[in-house]
Structure 1
Amino acid sequence: MEQKTLVIGVIGADVHAVGIKILDHAFTDAGFNVINLGVMVSQEEYIAAAIESDADAIVVSSLYGHGELDCRGLRQKCDEAGLEGILLYVGGNIVVGKQPFEDVERRFLAMGFDRVFPPGTSPETTIASLKKDLGVE
């Protein structure tokens, strides 16, 4: 596989560290070059890391339920920074309360995310989507 670079992290004030470590290991084992920004990552930090590393994708994780607020405007900021078309993924417990995932997904797609993953999505599912969307095997 041609090595692709992913910038990953947990957005906003979220301090849930275990999941992002699991993703880091899974993505690395799958052959990706992973830039793990850790927890409490701002939109600007994702963008700066993506520019610096010439990343192919940004993978945003959120578990504390405020991902929808934290992610607003990220696509526009990416575009303004010269990252037009960078692959944007988001997943986890990204909204507060029990909401139909189809509604949540629709809102995140409207915000410019390419894929939206519900709580409990396996790393293998995300890896398969990354490989497909990045055109690698």
Structure 2
Amino acid sequence: MEKKTLILGVIGSDCHAVGNKILDYALTEAGFNVINIGVLSPQEDFINAAVETNADVIIVSSLYGHGEIDCRGIREKCDEAGLNDILLFVGGNIVVGKQNWDDVHRRFTAMGFNKVYPPGTSLETTIHDLKEALGLF
């Protein structure tokens, strides 16, 4: 079976590289083809990489709390680029302060994200959800 391709990166002005490297390693070990665009990445870098590699999933990471601002409009830009069926996952410390998680989840889902993860989500959970969403079970 062909490996599924994931675009992984840290969005916006966020330069938190350690978690990005851990995700890259774990997802690669789980059998995915990971295209890691690194840190300080604008939406366009995620989308361009997905178009160029015919990716199945975009995984957006954000730890500095401004993920909600950085992620606005990404689903629409994906659709404009012909990525109507691409899965969008987001996780980390994606909002500032201690906000009600149900409200945060609802806002990101409304932005078009298929999976929204709170801080502290295990790698196993993410890998399981990716395999399930991609029909790899």
* Residue 120, structure 1, aligned to residue 120, structure 2: yes
Q: Quote the offset at 1:127 in angstroms.
A: 0.5
Tell me what 2:7 maps to. 7
What TM-score do you get using the length of structure 1 for normalisation? 0.98
Letter of the structure 1 residue corresponding to residue 91 of structure 2: G
Q: Quote the offset at 1:71 in angstroms.
A: 0.1
Tell me what 1:43 maps to. 43
CA contact (8 A) 1:27 1:34 kept: yes
| Structure 1 residues 30-63: Cα deviation after superposition (integer angstroms, max 9, x where no partner) | 0000000110011000000000010000000000
The alignment partner of 1:37 has SS state of: strand
Distance of 1:14 and 1:66 partners within structure 2: 8
| Structure 1 residues 109-131: Cα deviation after superposition (integer angstroms, max 9, x where no partner) | 00000000000111110000000
Distance of 1:60 and 1:135 partners within structure 2: 21
Letter of the structure 2 residue corresponding to residue 83 of structure 1: L
How many corresponding residue pairs? 137
Distance of 2:2 and 2:132 partners within structure 1: 13
Q: Quote the offset at 1:20 in angstroms.
A: 0.5
Q: Quote the offset at 1:2 in angstroms.
A: 3.8
**Unmatched 5+ residue regions in structure 2?**
none
Tell me what 1:108 maps to. 108
Q: Quote the offset at 1:85 in angstroms.
A: 1.6
What TM-score do you get using the length of structure 2 for normalisation? 0.98
Distance of 1:91 and 1:102 partners within structure 2: 14
Tell me what 1:130 maps to. 130
**Unmatched 5+ residue regions in structure 1?**
none
Distance of 2:85 and 2:102 partners within structure 1: 23
Q: Percent identity?
A: 69
Distance of 1:74 and 1:54 partners within structure 2: 17
CA contact (8 A) 1:10 1:20 kept: yes
| Structure 1 residues 58-115: Cα deviation after superposition (integer angstroms, max 9, x where no partner) | 0000000000000000000000000002000000000001001111000000000000
Distance of 1:128 and 1:118 partners within structure 2: 16
Tell me what 1:73 maps to. 73
